[in-house]
Amino acid sequence: MPIYMYKAKTLDGSDIKGTLEANDSSTVLSMLKEKGCFPVQVNEQGLLQKDIKFNIGSRVKLKDIAVFCRQFSTIINAGVSVLGALDILRQQTANKRLREVIEKVYSAVQKGNTLSNSMREHNVFPSILLNMVEAGEVSGSLDVALERMATHFEKENRLRQKIKTAMTYPIMISIIAVLVVGILITFVVPTFVSMFAQAGAELPATTRILIGISGTIRKYWYIILAVVIGGILLFRFYASTDTGRKTIDTIKLYIPVVGMLNQKIISSRFTRTLSTLLASGLPLLTALEVVAKVVDNYIVAKGLEKAQQEVSRGVSLAQPIAQIGVFPPMVTYMVRIGEDTGTLESVLNKTADFYDDEVEAAISRMTSLLEPLIICVMAVVVGFIIISIMQPIFGMYENISNM
């Protein structure tokens, strides 16, 4: 999700600035108005600014947020006040960046600000957590809201870890394959080229192609490197635009094999998040607005924004959800059942559990397909190099034996 930098004025006339994650600038304007601020300037964060932030800032991971919610809930449930709980957390939180933010939140709450408003001042906490904390403050069940959030983030983190773990081995094989081929072409092939030249051997077509590739890489490596780096930067710039996000996210949803996996991941995230928000007492319209902000896909986010508008006009949620064209029929069917029976929250929770299992199974299947495919490609490329080198050598031996 893109990050936007903003400048705004508060009700007392003070100037504030910061960053917010959102699907587009209009969402940022809405978020600032919800805080009671008057937007002055909103710009999408540039690539250079993103890189600087990434390199010198301590990133707050989802696991850190989950631990924060779990500890916060436990401390409050033990009878400690919100201020007292923040005092404890600011001293024992391991993540440096999160600890600094908690320190600032503690100071703001100490001055009389609400916890939710204090947390909104920092681009660290997810939108769903901010809304849940606000709902918990209003209902007087902050500990319950934080406990639900801890469970939600733990499950989300578990899903992400499964994906990372499953993809680690194929990625490592791919890296090793590229390194092996690079070493062969850059260092091994030139050794044989000089030998063939001295012997005056007649080279077959495959060997001439290999020598041409090797020579081009050795001679123009800096140009190739510049093209690769430039291509990556151009892609990142394109991906940061609305058109780019729309195109890339569409490809993610419908590309063979991977597209089906992404649809299941989005279905799991959508049903889990909406279920958690509804369980905490948030109205459906508010819950849909939050889900649209946290779902990591431009197409789905825009579809959910339209769904919110349809629901506000009295349309059943199942209908606009089906029109998005991303969610499997089961999601639409379960939403319809939940609405008809008045058990939307529990039905969505069970659906999320189902898709968590589906994602795990899909990842296992995809990994089992990728591993042999990568090995086969590596074998073909290395085999081509070896055959291209050995053919002239065998030819030289035949010439010697015939003499």
The domain ranges of the chain are 3-56, 62-155, 166-403
Q: Select the CATH number that applies to the domain covering 62-155 from these four: 2.60.40.420, 2.60.40.290, 1.20.81.30, 2.60.260.20.
A: 1.20.81.30
- DSSP secondary-structure letter at 57? S
List of long-range contacts for 288-294, beta carbons under 8 Å, 24+ apart: 288/317, 290/127, 290/128, 290/131, 291/128, 292/23, 293/21, 293/22, 293/23, 293/27, 293/127, 293/128, 294/126, 294/127, 294/128, 294/269
- DSSP secondary-structure letter at 24? S
> Which amino acid, residue 93?
T
pLDDT tens track, the chain, 403 positions? 567 777 777 766 677 777 776 766 777 777 777 777 777 777 776 544 444 444 344 578 889 999 999 999 999 988 889 999 999 998 888 888 999 999 999 999 998 889 988 998 888 888 889 888 888 888 788 888 899 889 889 988 988 888 888 888 888 888 888 888 888 888 888 888 777 777 676 778 888 888 888 888 888 889 999 999 999 999 999 988 888 889 999 998 988 878 888 999 899 889 988 998 888 888 899 889 888 888 888 899 999 999 999 999 999 999 999 999 899 999 999 999 999 998 999 999 999 989 988 988 888 888 888 888 888 988 888 888 888 888 877 777 766 666 5
Of 126, 162, 141, 136, which is closest to residue 273 (Cα–Cα)? Answer: 126
Confirm whether pTM is higher than 0.85: no
CATH 3.20.20.70 fits 166-403, yes or no: no
Q: Which two tokens stand for residue 391?
A: 């053919």
Evaluate whether 62-155 and 166-403 have a shared fold.
yes
Q: What are phi and psi of 79, to 5 degrees?
A: 100, 5
Q: Which two tokens stand for residue 25?
A: 């600038």
Of 101, 104, 134, 135, which is closest to residue 117 (Cα–Cα)? Answer: 134
